Amino acid sequence: MQTRITKYIFILIISLVLISCEGRSVLYGRWKSEERDLIIRKNTFELVFHKSDTIMCLQGSIDIKSRYFIMKFEKYVTQDGVVSDLQGSELYGHTEKVTYKVNKEYLETYIDNTGKTYRYKRYTNE
């Protein structure tokens, strides 16, 4: 009887822990590198450039999987802070598959389309 009660309490505790962690990705938050910042939220992302003369930021939707995520570009922000649609440009609807690996406070990404790699340091959690 005692072990049965202990077993049910253990199952209840594990269930509560799993429910509280559900839907929360380790990727959420702000990641910084020398060239750019990557801000990831539940369904959206922002790619903020440090050294661009015209575009300050690209925005879009993100679909996070277990070892990769897919970024779909939809809007951009100019240095003046004006948000515009990418519709009509070659980037509108452009998708990039990004393979990622999180090591402690670092995010290492490999962009499958271009072969480029980036390393970001965690700046904040969101």
**What percentage of the chain exceeds 90 in pLDDT?**
48
Q: What is the average pLDDT score of the chain?
A: 85
Alpha helices in the chain (DSSP H): 2-21
The domain defined by 25-124 folds into Lipocalin (2.40.128)
d(CA 84, CA 77): 6
- Cα angle 86, 89, 95 (rounded to 5 degrees) comes to 70
- What's the burial of 115, exposed, middle or buried (CB within 10 Å: 0-12/13-18/19+)? exposed
Position 91 scores a pLDDT of 81
Q: Are 109 and 118 in contact (CB under 8 A)?
A: yes
Question: Quick one: average pLDDT of 35-63?
Answer: 91
Distant-in-sequence contacts of 72-75, Cβ < 8 A, 24+ apart: none
* Domains in the chain: boundaries: 25-124
pLDDT digits (tens, 9 = 90+) for 53-88: 888 899 999 999 889 999 999 998 988 888 888 888
Supply the pTM of this predicted model.
0.75
